[in-house]
Amino acid sequence: MTHTADGVERLLAARLIGIVRLDDVELAVSAAASAIEAGLEAVEVTFTLPRAADAIKRLRREHPSALIGAGTVRSRAELDAAADAGVQFLVAPGLNPALLEAAERLGLMMLPGVFTASEIDLALRLGAEILKLFPAEPSGPGHLASMLEPFPSARLVPTGGVSALNAAAYFKAGAAAVAMGSSLFPAQRIVAEGPAVVVPLVEKALAAVQVAD
């Protein structure tokens, strides 16, 4: 891949990616901002949000020290919109070779979604440096560990069902980092109680990933 090694290392050093999946762009930006202020270093804004590119652009401008990524990237149009917004990394739900190659040409790091040995093998052959293992649950840490047996150099980020309660088990199984969505950004609570509800959730998750080996 043509992106800098610094981006890869920064994402891995963060250990935790917070996935913002909200329908309201103002709430999404405010919740992400609260999470960043609570210590979250990497935020993924999913393209299920109609104005995801606007949210990414604002977060990049207002929080330049954070890593801001785009998630659920499934088309070239979404990839280009994310790139134009200044995104620093891309995450896809599946493995799309054409999107991986397009990201490489733009110098952007993409985490393709993988689950099987065949998908991991192909993603590595295509040059992906970090892979999203999705869905992590209900298969659990054991599945991640079994995938690392034939691919010991693969850097897997389990996503889907990961929380502060099971993060340590994933790191023990060999995860390079973890991604959390609703356990950090519970949509209904954010709507009802406001963006600040994410602060204690982020603090708990950060504590969990920092003590995990």
| Nearby residues of 158 by Cβ (< 8 Å), 6 or more positions away | 133, 134, 136, 141, 144, 170, 175, 178, 179
Backbone angles phi, psi at 152, to 5 degrees: -65, -20
| pLDDT at position 213 | 59
- Report the C-alpha gap between 166 and 160 in whole angstroms: 12
Q: What is the pTM of this model?
A: 0.96
Q: Cβ(129)–Cβ(100) under 8 Å?
A: no
CA distance 69 to 67: 7
Which residues, 6 or more positions from 184, have their beta carbon under 8 angstroms from its beta carbon?
18, 19, 35, 40, 198, 201, 202, 205
Which CATH number is 126's domain given?
3.20.20.70
Q: What is the pLDDT of residues 194-210, one digit of tens each?
A: 999 999 999 999 999 99
Give the catalytic positions in this structure.
44, 132
Number of folded domains that form the chain: 1
Domain around 39: 5-211
Task: Give the mean model confidence (pLDDT) for residues 34-43.
Answer: 98
- pLDDT category at 4 given cuts 50, 70, 90 is low
